[in-house]
């Protein structure tokens, strides 16, 4: 009898342990995606900086929309930057910052995924406004037609007078490191055609500084993330890296 009780207790404990593991895995699958690694101490080096908004909008197994492709996309892009330039970016870590965090002022390039779910506070809006007018550059990615109304509405709060414009083939951003020609810009992205690159320029003047770029109907970060897996076309991932490198180089030189 005592032996049977011990056996029953052992089985119960095993089942509880298995359930706990299953719940933990489920929480990671449905809520968190990859664990956040923690931001490195600031040392002046170029560090990939991803913006985070609250909530679970755009939830997938990778987590909420702001977190998609993390952290592999940033690791792969910074590896490419280190191989082809003297920038010496951080490759071992990256930043996740809230829109209202004053630390964004230390980073010349910010990356922002799935803008359809972004609901900034007034403090967020002011912080992003100050960042952009002081010379910062923001990349908006993983961006499809249903994201557009919310992105327009929120950016009107950030820059009330700004107008979205097509970033034409003669824009300096397409020649800041690699030459990205018109044929490259028309090439289908992750979501297929049509791909469009929409921007906000200083004083709404395309001859002045580009402050924000949105990869409409594309997910450049997805191509960075999966570039080493072999199931995306090489041309697509190559073009995605050219865009990423050009964005960073443009931000650092304008």
Name which residue leads in pLDDT, 187 or 65.
65
pLDDT tens figures, 118-163: 999 999 999 999 999 999 999 999 989 999 999 999 999 999 999 9
Name which residue leads in pLDDT, 241 or 25.
241
At residue 24, the pLDDT reads 36
- The HSE-up count of residue 235 (CA atoms within 13 Å, CB side) is 8
Q: Which CATH number fits domain 40-253: 3.40.50.720, 3.40.50.12140, 3.50.50.60, 3.30.70.580?
A: 3.40.50.12140
pLDDT tens figures, 91-125: 999 999 999 999 999 999 999 999 999 999 999 99
Structure-block tokens of residue 71:
């952290």
pLDDT tens figures, 15-33: 334 333 333 333 333 346 8
pLDDT tens figures, 22-77: 333 333 333 468 999 999 999 999 999 999 999 999 999 999 999 999 999 999 99
- Let me know how many helices (H) and strands (E) the chain has, helices first: 7, 7
Query: Is it the case that residue 90 has pLDDT exceeding 70?
Result: yes
Domain ranges of the chain: 1-32, 40-253
Query: Is it the case that residue 7 has pLDDT exceeding 60?
Result: no
The rounded distance, in Å, linking the Cα atoms of 240 and 250 is 15
Query: Is it the case that residue 218 has pLDDT exceeding 50?
Result: yes
At residue 32, the pLDDT reads 64
Q: What angle do CA 147, 235, 33 make, to 5 degrees?
A: 45
Residue indicated by tokens 């089942």: 15
Alpha helix segments (H runs only) across 142-218:
148-158, 182-186
Confidence of residue 228 (pLDDT cuts 50, 70, 90): very high
Tell whether the torsion through CA atoms of 41, 47, 53 and 56 is positive or negative: negative
Structure-block tokens of residue 203:
């004083």
* DSSP three-state, residue 68: coil
The whole-chain average pLDDT of the chain stands at 89
> For 229-250, what is the mean pLDDT?
94
Q: How many CB atoms lie within 10 A of CB 79?
A: 15
Confidence of residue 212 (pLDDT cuts 50, 70, 90): very high
81 and 241 Cβ atoms separated by less than 8 Å: no
Q: How many residues does the chain have?
A: 254
At residue 230, the pLDDT reads 86
């Amino acid at each position: 009898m005592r032996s049977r009780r011990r056996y029953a207790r052992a089985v119960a404990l095993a089942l509880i342990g298995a359930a706990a593991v299953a719940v933990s895995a489920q929480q990671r699958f449905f809520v968190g995606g990859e664990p956040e690694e923690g931001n490195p101490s600031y040392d002046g080096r170029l560090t990939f900086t991803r913006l985070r908004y609250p909530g679970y909008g755009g939830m997938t197994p990778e987590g909420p929309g702001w977190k998609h492709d993390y952290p592999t996309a940033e690791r792969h892009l910074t590896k490419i930057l280190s191989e082809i330039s003297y920038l010496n970016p951080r490759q071992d870590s990256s930043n996740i910052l809230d829109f209202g965090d004053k630390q964004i002022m230390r980073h010349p390039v910010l990356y922002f995924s799935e803008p359809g779910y972004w609901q900034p506070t007034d403090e967020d809006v002011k912080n992003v406004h100050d960042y952009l007018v002081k010379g910062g550059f923001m990349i908006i990615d993983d961006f499809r037609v249903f994201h557009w109304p919310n992105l327009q509405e929120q950016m009107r709060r950030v820059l009330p007078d700004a107008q979205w414009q097509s970033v034409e083939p003669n824009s300096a951003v397409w020649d800041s490191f690699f030459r990205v020609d018109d044929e490259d810009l028309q090439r289908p992205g992750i979501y297929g055609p049509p791909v469009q690159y929409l921007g906000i320029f200083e004083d709404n003047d395309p001859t002045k500084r580009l402050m924000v770029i949105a990869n409409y109907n594309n997910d450049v970060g997805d191509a960075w993330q999966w570039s080493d897996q072999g199931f995306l076309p090489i041309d697509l991932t190559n073009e995605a890296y050219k865009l990423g490198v050009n964005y960073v180089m443009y931000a650092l030189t304008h």
